[in-house]
Amino acid sequence: MKKARTSSDARKKALPAKSGTSKKQIIVSDLIDVAEAQAIAAGTHSDPFSILGGHKKKAGYVVCAFDPGAERMAVLTGKRTVTEMLPVPDAPGVFVGKLARKANYRLRGEAGETQWTHEDAYRYGPVLGELDLHLISEGSHRQLWQALGAHVSVHERTNGTHFSVWAPNVMRVSVVGDFNHWDGRRHPMRCRGRSGVWEIFLPDVGEGAVYKYQIIDEHGNQLPLKADPVGFGAEHPPQTGSVVRDLMKFGWADDAWMNRRGDAQKNSAAISIYEVHLGSWRRVPQNGDRRISYLEAAQQLVDYVLDMGFTHIELMPVSEFPFDGSWGYQPVGMYAPTIRFGPLDEFRALVDTAHARGLGVLIDWVPGHFPTDAHGLASFNGSALYEHKDPREGFHQDWNTLIYNYGRSEVANFLIANALYWLREHHVDGLRVDAVASMLYRDYSRKEGEWVPNKHGGRENLEAIDLLKRMNEVVYAECQGIMTAAEESTSFPDVTKPTDHGGLGFGFKWNMGWMNDTLDYIQQDPIHRKYHHYKMTFGIQYAFSENFILPISHDEVVHGKGSMLSKMPGNEWEKFSNLRTYYGFMWTHPGKKLLFMGCEFAQSAEWNHDVSLDWHLLDYDLHRGVQSLVRDLNGLYRDTAALHVKDSEASGFQWLDLYSEDESVFAFARFGLPDDPPVVTICNFAPVERQNWRIGFPKSGRWQLVLNSDARVYGGSGRDQAEIILTEDQQWHECPQSAALTLPPLSTLVFKFEQ
């Protein structure tokens, strides 16, 4: 009867001598601690790099490998040298072998008749240096994306991808994907001390590989698989994996634009922005009504924006996001251009093409909150890491989203580096920062008792304020010629004042007050407008307190607010005339311009993110007329210094007719530099003609009519209007000279001084 082998006997199982080993039999227990091998097989070892790979030990140079799919394994060195490995008892998939000396090697696995070879990830040293780790821990790594994320690279003469993620206070982090059968035991990462950073270099993994991180928290709980917070690509929703993208291979050709964009984006420049939701700007009905791609947008959108005379395209958020209905304002992949329109380099091609044509590209940036999706930042390490633990600080009740913990240095670093990433790696020309008001105030949209005061007992979010200041300081210092703009809906002071003068440091601020007041006015029946006259004039009282952009954005044509055209009172002709008059007022009023797509041709229906704009409306004269007006307004604004050079200076504006509320008439003058011809705008917001209406002019002489919103080419009545007027020596509106005009009903007239 054969004696049963004991556990002790098993541990002493000998490895027969093969090529590359000594003639003496090798005992497993001499090569590896079986308990540690079992922890490797179970995926619970806290330091797999201390076991796996090659290590110099008393027994010699020992190689340990883990492959749960292998029945046999061998170490290959040189062209023909093969060292068979010994399976470790009670540790399925763990194999050990001894080499005569330290050497580069590959692993060969076998199962049945199948055989495969691969590089051993655990024979490679770390990639990140101590400086990277120090800066990450300190929260001051300006190029954070170069340290974290998935980088296609060559490490120790081997092609592969370096994965790195910040996940402090956890037991284990593994990178998983198709390349390892989504098995977290196969590639647990190297923990880099107290930094909370985990990294691993995976040979032979390249661009296009799908991956996530499997995290075991400090209590031993396996978390939902996480997408890479600094991943540069993502799968198509509803799939949620990250995708390896090579940041280094794109060849930019926009040096000319990058060198001159500072002049195109300074406060004295003409800036007219076309806001775009790429998913619904134009679709392809011949192909299942699909969205256009980045590459198609590089042709179609760029051509259209140039034809319309806008200076900039502003893209609603392009950071990867899970839910189409959020329009991108709940991003989950802050470093990944959304795959909805193509991969990363195709987004860059859109930017590069726009620059080649002289257009700036802005993107909406969302540092105010993030969604609760399990694969995202929420409870990333099993606890509140990116967010606040207390929901009174960390949960947005309006949007069911989480608020970043701006006071945590690593989180602030994550956001500031992200701003730099878009500006440097993707050459975007500026960031429009979303929902700034929700960041500035701890009691934003909260009742008493639902928020936590700051350390001084106040409502200001001091940490968020500091973040915004530092972000602006960093991006303006490191990225020549860029611009930042704040969507800030309160009267928070000094948003566009430099930080060293106590401001937030933004380049521009959306003028939400002007937008709300003027839209309320224009929606009134003309007979009632005299009671709301001040809403068109009040904005000038604060127009020069900040560097303002006048926004008619997507928010004004959604959620039951109707389209711009549908806001207008009256019959069809009056609706279009009201809208044209309003646009004339807007384009000649102090402030840069922003118009949401579709508003430029008077889209009839409210914006729907699921369908294309109604381009067929351009078959109709009235819609085409509004489009022509916007095109000409952009040209006039761009080519007339008085309309933009002093957008933020009181000396660039003068009221001429301020008090004609009963007649709903407004008149004002705009000025540029001393040699720039001034401009006079007269708006008649009543549906009746005003004859012999006297207007004071700031200069004596000839004034040319350069725009009439009532012209037939725009769909107006085409009433006769003098192309040239001569002022008379009759004092009016505090001007020593004036002229009597005929004001068409619902019209804007713009005159430019000739001599």
pLDDT digits (tens, 9 = 90+) for 121-159: 999 999 999 999 999 999 999 999 999 999 999 999 999
Q: What is the pLDDT of residue 23?
A: 39
Residue 687 Cα distances to 606, 664, 739, 751, angstroms: 25, 10, 22, 21
Helix (H, G, I), strand (E, B) or coil at 430: strand
Q: Where are the beta strands (DSSP E) in 147-257?
A: 149-155, 158-166, 170-177, 190-191, 197-203, 210-217, 242-243
Q: Show the tokens assigned to 126.
A: 């770390």
Helix (H, G, I), strand (E, B) or coil at 754: coil
Q: What is the pLDDT of residue 463?
A: 98
Q: Who has greater pLDDT, 427 or 24? A: 427
DSSP string, 76-101: EETTTEEEE-EEPTTSTTEEEEEESS
Q: Show the tokens assigned to 689.
A: 């003609």
H helices of 88-232, where?
Answer: 130-138, 144-147
Mean pLDDT rounded to a whole number for the chain: 95
Compute and round to an integer the Cα radius of gyration of the chain: 33
Q: What value does the mean pLDDT take over residues 98-116?
A: 93
Q: What value does the mean pLDDT take over residues 232-255?
A: 97
List domains and CATH numbers for the chain. Answer: 11-123 (2.60.40.10), 130-243 (2.60.40.10), 252-510 (3.20.20.80), 526-755 (2.60.40.1180)
Type of residue found at 543:
A
Q: Show the tokens assigned to 98.
A: 């001894």
Q: What is the pLDDT of residues 187-200, one digit of tens each?
A: 999 999 999 999 99
| Contact present, 483 and 432 (Cβ < 8 Å) | no
Q: What is the pLDDT of residues 468-525, one digit of tens each?
A: 999 999 999 999 999 999 999 999 999 999 999 999 999 999 999 999 999 999 999 9
Is residue 94 pLDDT above 60, yes or no?
A: yes
CA dist., res. 398 & res. 369, Å (int)? 11
Q: Which of the residues are catalytic?
A: 434, 487
β-bridge pairing 702-708 and 724-726: antiparallel
DSSP string, 570-635: SSHHHHHHHHHHHHHHHHHSSSEEEEETTGGGT-SSPP-TTS---GGGGGSHHHHHHHHHHHHHHH
Residue 466 Cα distances to 409, 434, 461, 503, angstroms: 11, 16, 9, 11
Q: What is the pLDDT of residue 25?
A: 56
Per residue, the 3-state secondary structure of 704-715, as one string, reads EEEEECCCHHHC
Percent of the chain with pLDDT over 90: 93
CA dist., res. 251 & res. 146, Å (int)? 18
| Contact present, 197 and 348 (Cβ < 8 Å) | no
CA dist., res. 6 & res. 345, Å (int)? 60
Segment (H or E) for 692: strand 690-697
Instruction: Give the pLDDT band of residue 339 (cuts 50, 70, 90).
Output: very high
Contacts of 660 (CB under 8 A, 6+ apart): 666
Instruction: Give the pLDDT band of residue 60 (cuts 50, 70, 90).
Output: confident
Q: What is the pLDDT of residue 2?
A: 37
Is residue 733 pLDDT above 60, yes or no?
A: yes
Q: What value does the mean pLDDT take over residues 5-16?
A: 42
Q: What is the pLDDT of residue 721?
A: 77
Q: What value does the mean pLDDT take over residues 300-320?
A: 98
pTM given for the model: 0.94
Dihedral angle computed from the Cα positions of residues 436, 440, 444 and 447, in that order, rounded to the nearest 10 degrees: 180
β-bridge pairing 360-365 and 430-433: parallel
Q: What value does the mean pLDDT take over residues 350-362?
A: 98
Is residue 342 pLDDT above 50, yes or no?
A: yes
Q: What value does the mean pLDDT take over residues 227-236?
A: 98
Is residue 549 pLDDT above 60, yes or no?
A: yes
Is residue 750 pLDDT above 80, yes or no?
A: yes
Q: What is the pLDDT of residues 672-710, one digit of tens each?
A: 999 999 999 999 999 999 999 999 999 999 999 999 999
Q: Who has greater pLDDT, 331 or 26? A: 331
Instruction: Give the pLDDT band of residue 436 (cuts 50, 70, 90).
Output: very high
Q: Show the tokens assigned to 39.
A: 């922890």
CA dist., res. 502 & res. 492, Å (int)? 12
Q: What is the pLDDT of residues 11-57, one digit of tens each?
A: 444 444 444 444 345 688 889 999 999 999 999 998 999 999 999 98
- The dihedral built from the CA positions of residue 50, 53, 54 and 59, taken in this order, carries a sign that is positive
CA dist., res. 300 & res. 295, Å (int)? 9
